[in-house]
Structure 1
Amino acid sequence: MNDIELLSPAGDFDCLKAAVQNGADAVYFGANQFNARANSKNFNKEELSLAIEYAKLRNVKTHLTINIVIKNDEFEDALNLVKDAYLAGIDAVIVQDLGLAKKIIETFPNLEVHASTQMTTYNKEGVEQLEKLGVNRVVLARELEVKEIEDVCKNSNVDIEVFIHGALCICYSGQCLMSSLIGGRSGNRGTCAGSCRLPYALLKNDSVVNKGYLLSSKDVCTLDILPKILKTGVKSLKIEGRMKSPYYVGLVTSIYRKYIDLAQSGKTYIVEDSDREKLMQIFNRGGFSTGYLNGKLGKEMMYTKRPNHIGIKIGEVVSYNKNKGYVKVKLE
């Protein structure tokens, strides 16, 4: 298990440095076009070269995301972007579009091509087809259980990558049309409006039986089942978060670095409460879940009261004096 890669997100150069300095084995980021996080700062051509150089000097690999569907009139520009990254020394490209993946493999035979989770690959047969195409790694769909991941790993000749922490789409990544239908912004083109984070009402016989952020899932945290995931045979563990701050990236990377190393050390694996609290404090949507990994589906995966960070509870407001402008708080 000593060749497990910790792959961290980088929405900008500060995030990249935070990931590298806190123990990432590899970082993934997007350019100013053709990636699923168009609202991140991302990297222009000059910054792309600097980012790759910065990481290489510290023995950290770099992966460029081109994880959207590509239109006919964009194909040449997408290939030119790959060429720029290839010449700058990028280690891999993460691709959603099958046609683009095939062309990259033909044009740049020495460049690793990774099938994005946006391809919705969820079984060994899908991995086999991508292997025949020439893909080097497959990022599995996030709807798989640990035992299903293990089955894929045992029956595949390419590297397998899975997500271990961060936001979870309520729909299949790469298959969701909700944002484009509701907000006119396509998640498959990098401009997801986060429609699943909006408030909704549930109707039964024209009567409202529930309302709130009914489609908003908790973020995934896998610290408690990390040893179990490592035993599946996966080669890369991925942290979601290209829209997050450098502090978030650095903290989450450092904590997972700590526990990946612990799980591989042979020592007793115990997650410290202080580390759980740090993760809760930096970002949580009503707590965490293990997503689909443990096969426990249901309301424990959701938090319907609000869709964003809620922090951690430190006490209760006992009283509030509007005229004097102060509150009395009972700390826990």
Structure 2
Amino acid sequence: MNKPEILAPAGNLEKLKTAINFGADAVYLGGGKLNLRAFADNFTDEELKEGIQFAHERGKKVYVTLNVFPHNEDLNGLEEYLVKLYNLNVDAIIVSDPGIIMTAREIVPDLELHLSTQANNVNWKSAIFWYKAGVKRIVLAREMSLDEIKEIRSKLPEDCDIEAFVHGSMCMSYSGRCLLSNYMTGRDSNRGECAQPCRYKYYLMEEKRPNQYFQVQEDEKGTYILNSKDLCMIEHIPELVEAGINSFKIEGRMKSAYYVAAVVKSYREALDSYFDNAEAYVFKKQWMDNLLKTSHRDYYTGFYFGDKHSQIYENSSYIRDYDIVGIVRSYDENLKEAVIEQRNKIFNGDTVEVLRPKADNFEIKLQNIKDDTGNSIESTPVAQMLYKATVDIELKENDMLIKSKGK
């Protein structure tokens, strides 16, 4: 049984490096054109070059999204962009439109193609169609059950991979194909500009259909009838592996570096633990604890087990119990002093939690805080400022410091 890949989102260069440092086997990201996260930082050519080099030096892969449904004007410059990505040595592009697939096969025939979940592949016949068209990997539609995935795996050639989302936001549409944003705001969700109207507050009224009741749970403030829970399959690693999924995909190119670190860490540890000894595998509470600390909506298991209760009616807010407050840049063992890059304000004497790729989380106290000129300070109010703090426990470069909002 081949070990599945952990595939993480990389909304920018920092998140790419975070994902790889915390255990991702591959990352996916958007370049300058044709990706479905138009409002993410995305990557310049220089950043993409640096990110690919960083990944490849560590034996990891980089996939670039070209997964929009392009209109005619979106095709301008497509050939040149494909050649640029090929010359940058990207490992694959993620595509959904047949026109882009055809062009890629003509212009860069050696560039690996992954079929985006936007293509809504829900059966093995369609998967074979795309495979014969030159697609190496099928990113399955999110509406599929584990039983359906197992059947698709059994029908596909061994060299055709299947990828499935295992964690992150879901939307009330068919694998992301939605027109609410187009109608309500003029922003095309299928061209990367979704305004997320499924998260808006709605009232449901139909005055001309007597005796047809639409159950809506609401209070005087309204209800969020289209607002989906977040997918979380951390408790079902064995089932995912046994279904034959080759790549476990994490959603979240718009999420924080902390989200990327914590989610990748949990899935990395869970998957490694299963492959170390499948018969003795036991789910560890700490993996879920890490996921509950990140920004998220209520979790559920999507369509994998035929779940029906996917909506959150009360609000559309994220649960945010912890924030990232700093990244360790260096540690002087003799002075017991850490150099930290600020991510959120902290105060002298604060207790924070340390998140690192390979260790259980632990708490430290930041004392004797000083600015970069050596002056004592009571807080760190300036974004991304470098400061020093006395810490009794040895820290490592790129350790991530997080803090409960309740402390």
Aligned partner of 2:117 in structure 1 is: 117
Cα offset for 1:202? Answer: 2.2
Cα offset for 1:181? Answer: 0.9
Aligned partner of 1:46 in structure 2 is: 46
The structure with the largest helix share of the pair is 1
Indicate the structure whose relative CO is greater, using CA pairs within 8 Å and at least 6 residues apart: 1
Q: Which amino acid letter does the alignment assign opposite residue 46 of structure 2? A: E
User: Secondary structure of the residue that 1:200 maps to in structure 2?
Assistant: coil
1:40-99 Cα distance to aligned partner (Å, 9 max, x none): 000011111111111111111010001101233332412222211110110000011111
Output the CA distance in 1 between the equivalents of 2:3 and 2:241.
11
Output the CA distance in 2 between the equivalents of 1:308 and 1:106.
45
1:221 equivalenced with 2:232 (yes/no): yes
Cα offset for 1:126? Answer: 1.0
Output the CA distance in 2 between the equivalents of 1:92 and 1:135.
10
1:118-150 Cα distance to aligned partner (Å, 9 max, x none): 111111111011011111111000000011111
TM-score relative to the length of structure 1:
0.89
Output the CA distance in 1 between the equivalents of 2:16 and 2:176.
25
User: Secondary structure of the residue that 1:212 maps to in structure 2?
Assistant: coil
Task: Please identify, of 61-70 and 105-114, the stretch whose mean Cα deviation from structure 2 is larger.
Answer: 105-114
TM-score relative to the length of structure 2:
0.73
Output the CA distance in 1 between the equivalents of 2:81 and 2:137.
20
Larger Rg computed on CA atoms: 2
Output the CA distance in 1 between the equivalents of 2:63 and 2:152.
23
Aligned partner of 2:285 in structure 1 is: 273
1:212 equivalenced with 2:223 (yes/no): yes
Output the CA distance in 2 between the equivalents of 1:186 and 1:72.
14
Task: Please identify, of 67-76 and 57-66, the stretch whose mean Cα deviation from structure 2 is larger.
Answer: 67-76
Output the CA distance in 1 between the equivalents of 2:111 and 2:187.
31
Output the CA distance in 1 between the equivalents of 2:295 and 2:286.
15
Cα offset for 1:245? Answer: 0.8
Provide the alpha-carbon RMSD of the alignment. 1.8
1:160 equivalenced with 2:152 (yes/no): no
Is the CA contact (8 Å cut-off) linking 2:294 and 2:321 kept in structure 1? no
Is the CA contact (8 Å cut-off) linking 1:115 and 1:137 kept in structure 2? yes
Output the CA distance in 1 between the equivalents of 2:26 and 2:321.
30
Structure 2 residue corresponding to 1:193, chosen from 192, 195, 198: 195
Aligned partner of 2:312 in structure 1 is: 303
User: Secondary structure of the residue that 1:162 maps to in structure 2?
Assistant: strand
Cα offset for 1:204? Answer: 5.1
Output the CA distance in 2 between the equivalents of 1:252 and 1:45.
27
Cα offset for 1:23? Answer: 0.6
1:281-314 Cα distance to aligned partner (Å, 9 max, x none): 21221x200011111213xx2212221212359x
Is the CA contact (8 Å cut-off) linking 2:3 and 2:275 kept in structure 1? no
Cα offset for 1:225? Answer: 1.4
**Identity, % of aligned positions:** 37
1:256 equivalenced with 2:256 (yes/no): no
Q: Which amino acid letter does the alignment assign opposite residue 313 of structure 2? A: T
After superposition, where does 1:51-66 map in structure 2 within 5 Å?
51-66=51-66
Output the CA distance in 2 between the equivalents of 1:284 and 1:270.
24
Output the CA distance in 2 between the equivalents of 1:41 and 1:183.
22
Aligned partner of 1:291 in structure 2 is: 302
Q: Which amino acid letter does the alignment assign opposite residue 99 of structure 2? A: G
Q: Which amino acid letter does the alignment assign opposite residue 108 of structure 1? A: V
Aligned partner of 1:325 in structure 2 is: none
1:232-269 Cα distance to aligned partner (Å, 9 max, x none): 11111100000011111011111100011112222433
Aligned partner of 2:22 in structure 1 is: 22
Structure 2 residue corresponding to 1:230, chosen from 220, 241, 263: 241
1:182-240 Cα distance to aligned partner (Å, 9 max, x none): 11111100001101100111235479954311111111000111210111111111000
Is the CA contact (8 Å cut-off) linking 2:62 and 2:91 kept in structure 1? yes
Q: Which amino acid letter does the alignment assign opposite residue 308 of structure 1? A: S
Cα offset for 1:105? Answer: 1.7
1:240 equivalenced with 2:242 (yes/no): no
Output the CA distance in 2 between the equivalents of 1:174 and 1:218.
15
Output the CA distance in 2 between the equivalents of 1:19 and 1:195.
29
* Count of matched residue pairs: 311
1:172 equivalenced with 2:174 (yes/no): yes
Output the CA distance in 1 between the equivalents of 2:58 and 2:46.
19
Q: Which runs of 5+ in 2 are unaligned?
A: 323-405
